[in-house]
C-alpha cells in the first residue's frame, strides 16, 4: 500500500511538471509570435520609408531633365555638366593621367598588391580590411582599370554550368556591410575554381564599407574571372550613390584622389553584366521581370550606354526642335540635348525600360503586371507573369535580390521565385538575418542564414527588438515633422468642431493621405500620438516631442520643413552642379536652381525668405555658400524617445 501511495504521488508530480512545461511552452510560443509581429511592423516602417526615398530619387531624374531643358545658362556655359549627366560614351582615360600625381610613400603600411593578382592578394586584402586599413588610391585605381578591361569582354548575361558535385553560391545585396562578406567567406569559403560565386548587385551604399567590398569582389573577380560573377544592381549607379552614401564615403576616404576614383567607377558600372543564367534553367537578376521582358533583346543591348538607370533617354523632336551648337559639340534643342549631334550614345527608350524592369521590379502575390508604386520604378509582377516569362525562355526559376527579408530569403510564386538578401542588420542591429543560396544541377536550392552580431548580442532579445522599434518610430516621426504644416491642415479640415481631437480612423486617413507610406496607422497610433479616455486622438501631440531646428529664427516654418524634406534631393543637385567638389555654390546659381526646383516640385515658398536664409549662410560675404553646411543646418531634435523609456510594443 505504501508503494502505491508513492507511485501515485510521483504520477501527480509528473503531471504537474508536464502542465508547467506546457504553460512555459505556450508562453514562449506566444512571446515568440509577438516578437515576430513586432519585427514585421518595424520592417514595414523601414521599408516604406526606404521605398518612398527611392520614389524621390526617381523623381529627381525627372528634375534633371527639366533642369537641362530650362536652365539655359547651364546648357550654354557649363557643357561639362551636360556631358556628366547624359554622355554615357565615356572615353577611356589614359592611365598616365591618373598615375602621374600618385605615389605610394614608404610610410604607407597598408596592403601592397602585386599584379598580376593571385589568391594570396585576396587573403592579404581581407586581413588588411579586418584591421581597418585603407587600400592606397594607387592600388584602387589599378584594380579598377584592370576590372574594367575584363568586364568589357563579358556578355550582358553570363552563362554558367554546375554539376551535382559543383555547387555555385548566390549572394544578394551587401550594401557596404563588410562583416557580412567576411562571414560569408568564412562560412562558405573563398572563391575558387571549385567554389564559384554570383554576387547579385547592390554591393555599395548605406553601409560604411562599400569601397572595401568592391575591392574584395573586384580582386576576387580578377583572380577568378570564370568563377566569380558580378551582376549590376540598381545601386551600381552614380546618381544613387550621391543619395545613399557611397559618393561621400569615397570622397572621405580618398580626399586627394576620390574624384578620379568616382569617375572610373561610373564607367565600370556601365560594364557590369545585367544577369546570370545557370544551367540554362535559373535566371539570376537583381530586381525582377515584367510582362514585356525580352531576354533576347537584353542579351544584345549595348549595356555600357546606360550610365544611370535614373537618367532616361532624352526625347528629341526633330521637326520642331530649334538647335544651336556650343563649344564642346553638344547640340542643345528645345526638347532636350543631343551629344555630338547623335543619339547613338543612348539606349532607346524601350531598351532603357527593359533594364529598369530587371533592376527595379518586385514580385507580388497578385496576378498581373502593374506599376511599382512603392519604389516609383519598375513594376510589380504576379505569379502568372513569372510562369509566362520562364516558360517563354525554357527556364525553371528566377533568383533575385533587391528586397530586405526578415529571414534573409523568401520563396514565392509556387517556388519559382526566390529572393536572397545578404546584408544582415540592414536597417538596424537585429532587424533581419542575411542569407546566401547554393545551387547545383539536379538538386533543390540550399539556404544558409546568418546574422552578424556585436556587443548587443549580449542583451536580451526583447531589448534588441525594442531598439529596432525605437529606430523605426524615430525615422517615422522625422518623416511626420517634415510635413507638419500639411498634416495640420488636413487634421483641421477633418476637425469640424475645432476640438483639437480626431477619431483614430480620421487621424489614420489623414496620415496616409499626406505621407503615402501605406502603413498600419491605427496599430502605430499608440507610439505616435496621445489618446484620451474616449479613444480620440489629440492630433497636435503628433509633434509634441520633435521639431526641426531653425538655423534662422525669423524664417517661416513652411520653408524650414520644405528644405528639410528635400534636403537629400537638394544636396544631390548641388553636388552635380559642383563639378570640382569644392562644396561651394554661388548665390546666383543657388537662386536659379531653387527657382527651377520650386517650379518642378510645385513648392509654395516665398523666394524672399530663401534669399534671406541664403544670405545669412554666406558667412564671409563672398557671394557663395557652402551648401553642405547650409543643408546640415536643418536637423531634427528629438526631445525624448518614449520607446527607450518603456517596454511598449508596436503590436
Q: Is the per-residue pLDDT at 555 higher than 80?
A: no
Domain enclosing residue 304, as ranges: 101-314+348-450
Same domain as 594, residue 535 = no
Rounded Cα gap, residues 474 and 341, in angstroms: 50
Domain annotation covers residue 267? yes
pLDDT of residue 78 exceeding 70, the answer is: no
Tens digits of residue pLDDT in 346-357:
889 999 999 999
Residues 380 and 418 in one domain: yes
- What is the reported pLDDT for 344? 54
Asked if 292 and 177 sit in the same domain, the reply is yes
Q: How far apart are CA 423 and CA 432, in angstroms?
A: 8
Catalytic-role residue among 175, 235, 413, 527: 235
For residue 86, the model assigns a pLDDT of: 53
Give all strands of the β-sheet with 501-502 in edge-to-edge order: 501-502, 537-538, 530-531
| Residue 10, SS3 per DSSP | helix
Phi-psi sector, 175: left (phi>0), alpha (psi -120 to 50), beta:
left
566 vs 554: CA distance, rounded Å: 20
38-47, 587-596, 626-635, range with greatest mean pLDDT: 38-47
Give domain status of residue 91, yes or no: no
Mean pLDDT, residues 629-639 taken together: 77
The proportion of the chain whose per-residue pLDDT surpasses 90, expressed as a percent, equals 56
What the block records as the C-alpha cell of 280 is 540554362
Residue 324 has a pLDDT of 37
126, 219 Cβ separation under 8 angstroms? no
Residue at a domain's end among 543, 565, 595: 543
* Burial 171-203, CB ≥16 within 10 A → b, else e: bbbbbbbbbbbbbbbeebebbeeebbbbbbbbb
pLDDT at 308: 87
d(CA 273, CA 280): 17
The separation between CA 596 and the C-alpha centre of its own chain, rounded to angstroms, equals: 26
Q: Is the pLDDT of residue 647 over 60?
A: no
What pLDDT does 449 receive? 97
Q: How far is it, in rounded angstroms, from Cα 477 to Cα 45?
A: 11
Q: What is the reported pLDDT for 2?
A: 56
**165 and 232 inside one domain:** yes
Q: What's the pLDDT tens digit per position in 498-532?
A: 999 999 999 999 999 999 999 999 999 999 999 99
Pairing of strands 434-440, 443-450: antiparallel
The answer to whether the beta carbons of residues 220 and 126 sit under 8 Å apart is no
**E strand intervals along 451-525:** 501-502
Mean pLDDT of the chain: 85
Spatial CB neighbours of 284, under 8 Å, sequence gap ≥ 6? 170, 198, 200, 231, 275, 276, 277, 278, 398, 399, 400
CB of 487 closer than 8 Å to CB of 511:
yes
More confident residue, 397 or 38: 397
Q: Indicate whether 404 and 295 sit together in one domain.
A: yes
Would you give the DSSP letter of residue 58? H
Greater model confidence, 536 or 65: 536
User: Cα–Cα distance between 257 and 136 in angstroms, integer?
Assistant: 10
Taking residues 571-580, report their average pLDDT. 76
- Residue 487 is inside which H or E element, if any? helix 484-494
Q: Is residue 414 part of a domain?
A: yes
- Provide the CB-side half-sphere exposure for 272 (13 A, CA): 35
In-domain check, residue 78: no
Number of structural domains the chain divides into: 3
What CATH number has the domain bearing residue 129?
Answer: 3.60.21.10
Instruction: Average the pLDDT over 169-197 and give the result.
Output: 97
Confidence at 158, pLDDT banded by 50, 70, 90: very high
Does residue 473 have a pLDDT over 60? yes
Is 17 inside any structural domain? no
163-172 per-position pLDDT tens digit: 888 899 999 9
Evaluate if residue 592 carries a pLDDT over 60: yes
Question: Does one domain contain both 529 and 590?
Answer: no
Average pLDDT over residues 369-374: 91
pLDDT at position 294 is 98
Of 64-68, 230-234, 567-571, the one with minimum mean pLDDT is: 64-68
Q: 531 and 615: one domain? A: no
Whether 235 is catalytic: yes
Same domain, 184 and 213: yes
Q: Let me know the angle formed at the C-alpha of 431 by 59 and 401, rounded to the nearest 5 degrees.
A: 55
pLDDT at 267 over 70: yes
Q: Residue 207 above 80 pLDDT?
A: yes
Residue 333 lies in a domain: no
253 and 119 within one domain: yes
Question: Is the pLDDT reported for residue 93 higher than 60?
Answer: no
Task: Mark whether 622 and 527 lie in a shared domain.
Answer: no
The domain boundary residue, chosen from 503, 518, 543:
543
> What confidence score (pLDDT) does residue 320 get?
40
For the segment 9-54, what is each residue's pLDDT rounded down to a tens digit?
Answer: 767 777 777 777 777 777 767 767 777 777 888 889 999 999 988 8
Helix (H, G, I), strand (E, B) or coil at 573: helix
In a shared domain, residues 563 and 528: no
Mean pLDDT of 448-458: 76
pLDDT of residue 329: 37
More confident residue, 315 or 209: 209
Does residue 603 share a domain with residue 500? no
Q: Does residue 244 register a pLDDT over 50?
A: yes
Question: What's the CATH number where 604 sits?
Answer: 1.10.238.10
Q: How many alpha carbons fall within 13 Å on the CB side of residue 86?
A: 28
pLDDT in tens, 222-236: 999 999 999 999 999
Question: CA-to-CA distance for 635 and 353, rounded, in angstroms?
Answer: 37
Question: 335 in a domain, yes or no?
Answer: no
Per-residue pLDDT at 323:
40
Q: Per-residue pLDDT for 322 more than 70? A: no
Instruction: Check pLDDT > 80 for residue 240.
Output: yes
Residues with Cβ within 8 Å of 70's Cβ and at least 6 positions away in sequence, in order, are 596, 599
Is 43 domain-assigned?
A: no
Domain boundary residue among 513, 543, 573?
Answer: 543
Q: Out of 34-43, 434-443, 577-586, 622-631, which region has the weakest mean confidence (pLDDT)?
A: 577-586
CA pair distance 10, 173, nearest whole angstrom: 57
- pLDDT reading at 644 higher than 70: no
Least confident span in 383-392, 475-484, 543-552: 543-552
- Residue 519: per-residue pLDDT: 94
Amino acid at each position: 500500500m505504501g508503494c502505491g501511495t508513492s507511485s501515485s504521488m510521483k504520477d501527480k508530480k509528473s503531471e504537474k511538471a508536464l502542465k508547467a512545461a506546457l504553460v512555459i511552452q505556450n508562453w514562449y510560443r506566444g512571446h515568440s509570435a509577438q516578437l515576430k509581429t513586432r519585427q514585421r511592423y518595424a520592417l514595414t516602417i523601414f521599408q516604406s520609408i526606404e521605398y518612398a526615398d527611392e520614389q524621390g530619387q526617381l523623381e529627381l531624374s525627372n528634375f534633371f531633365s527639366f533642369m537641362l531643358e530650362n536652365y539655359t545658362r547651364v546648357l550654354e556655359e557649363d557643357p561639362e555638366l551636360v556631358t556628366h549627366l547624359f554622355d554615357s560614351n565615356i572615353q577611356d582615360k589614359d592611365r598616365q593621367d591618373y598615375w602621374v600625381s600618385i605615389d605610394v610613400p614608404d610610410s604607407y603600411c597598408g596592403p601592397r598588391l602585386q599584379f598580376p593578382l593571385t589568391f594570396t592578394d585576396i587573403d592579404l586584402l581581407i586581413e588588411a580590411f579586418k584591421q581597418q586599413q585603407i587600400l592606397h588610391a594607387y592600388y584602387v585605381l589599378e584594380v579598377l582599370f584592370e576590372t574594367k578591361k575584363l568586364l568589357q569582354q563579358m556578355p550582358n548575361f553570363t552563362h554558367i554550368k554546375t554539376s551535382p558535385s559543383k555547387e555555385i553560391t548566390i549572394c544578394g545585396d551587401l550594401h557596404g556591410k563588410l562583416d557580412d562578406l567576411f562571414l560569408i567567406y568564412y562560412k562558405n569559403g573563398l572563391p575558387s575554381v571549385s567554389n564559384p560565386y554570383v554576387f547579385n548587385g547592390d554591393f555599395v551604399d548605406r553601409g560604411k564599407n562599400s569601397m572595401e567590398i568592391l575591392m574584395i569582389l573586384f580582386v576576387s573577380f580578377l583572380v577568378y574571372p570564370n568563377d566569380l560573377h558580378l551582376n549590376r544592381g540598381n545601386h551600381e549607379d552614380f546618381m544613387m550613390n550621391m543619395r545613399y552614401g557611397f559618393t561621400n564615403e569615397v570622397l572621405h576616404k580618398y580626399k586627394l584622389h576620390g574624384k578620379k576614383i568616382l569617375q572610373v567607377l561610373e564607367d565600370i558600372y556601365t560594364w557590369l553584366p545585367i544577369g546570370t543564367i545557370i544551367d540554362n534553367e535559373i535566371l539570376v537578376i537583381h530586381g525582377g521581370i515584367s510582362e514585356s521582358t525580352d531576354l533576347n533583346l537584353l542579351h544584345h543591348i549595348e549595356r555600357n550606354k546606360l550610365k544611370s538607370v535614373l537618367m532616361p533617354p532624352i526625347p528629341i523632336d526633330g521637326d520642331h526642335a530649334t538647335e544651336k551648337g556650343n563649344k564642346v559639340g553638344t547640340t542643345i534643342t528645345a526638347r532636350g540635348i543631343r551629344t555630338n549631334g547623335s543619339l547613338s550614345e543612348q539606349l532607346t527608350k524601350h531598351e532603357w525600360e527593359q533594364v529598369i524592369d530587371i533592376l527595379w521590379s518586385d514580385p507580388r502575390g497578385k496576378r498581373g503586371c502593374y506599376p511599382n508604386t512603392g519604389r516609383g520604378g519598375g513594376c510589380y509582377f504576379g505569379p502568372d507573369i513569372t510562369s509566362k516569362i520562364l516558360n517563354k525562355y525554357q527556364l525553371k526559376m528566377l533568383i533575385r535580390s533587391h528586397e530586405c527579408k526578415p529571414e534573409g530569403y523568401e520563396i514565392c510564386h509556387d517556388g519559382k521565385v526566390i529572393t536572397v538578401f545578404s546584408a544582415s542588420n540592414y536597417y538596424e542591429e537585429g532587424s533581419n538575418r542575411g542569407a546566401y543560396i547554393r545551387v547545383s544541377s539536379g538538386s533543390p536550392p540550399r539556404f544558409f542564414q546568418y546574422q552578424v552580431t556585436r556587443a548587443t548580442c549580449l542583451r536580451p532579445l526583447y531589448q534588441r527588438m525594442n531598439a529596432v522599434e525605437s529606430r523605426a518610430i524615430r525615422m517615422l516621426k522625422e518623416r511626420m515633422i517634415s510635413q507638419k504644416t500639411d498634416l495640420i491642415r488636413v487634421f483641421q479640415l477633418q476637425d469640424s468642431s475645432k476640438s483639437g481631437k480626431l477619431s483614430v480612423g480620421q487621424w489614420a486617413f489623414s496620415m496616409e493621405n499626406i505621407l503615402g507610406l501605406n502603413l498600419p496607422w491605427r496599430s502605430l497610433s499608440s507610439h505616435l500620438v496621445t489618446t484620451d479616455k474616449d479613444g480620440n486622438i489629440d492630433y497636435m501631440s503628433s509633434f509634441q516631442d520633435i521639431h526641426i531646428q531653425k538655423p534662422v529664427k525669423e524664417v517661416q516654418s513652411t520653408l524650414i520643413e520644405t528644405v528639410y524634406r528635400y534636403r537629400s534631393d537638394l544636396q544631390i543637385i548641388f553636388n552635380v552642379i559642383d563639378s570640382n567638389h569644392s562644396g561651394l555654390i554661388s548665390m546666383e546659381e543657388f537662386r536659379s536652381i531653387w527657382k527651377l526646383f520650386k517650379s518642378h516640385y510645385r513648392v509654395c515658398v516665398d523666394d524672399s525668405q530663401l534669399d534671406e536664409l541664403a544670405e545669412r549662410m554666406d558667412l564671409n560675404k563672398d557671394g557663395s555658400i557652402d551648401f553642405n553646411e547650409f543643408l546640415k543646418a536643418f536637423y531634427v531634435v528629438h526631445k525624448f524617445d518614449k520607446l527607450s523609456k518603456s517596454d511598449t510594443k508596436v503590436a
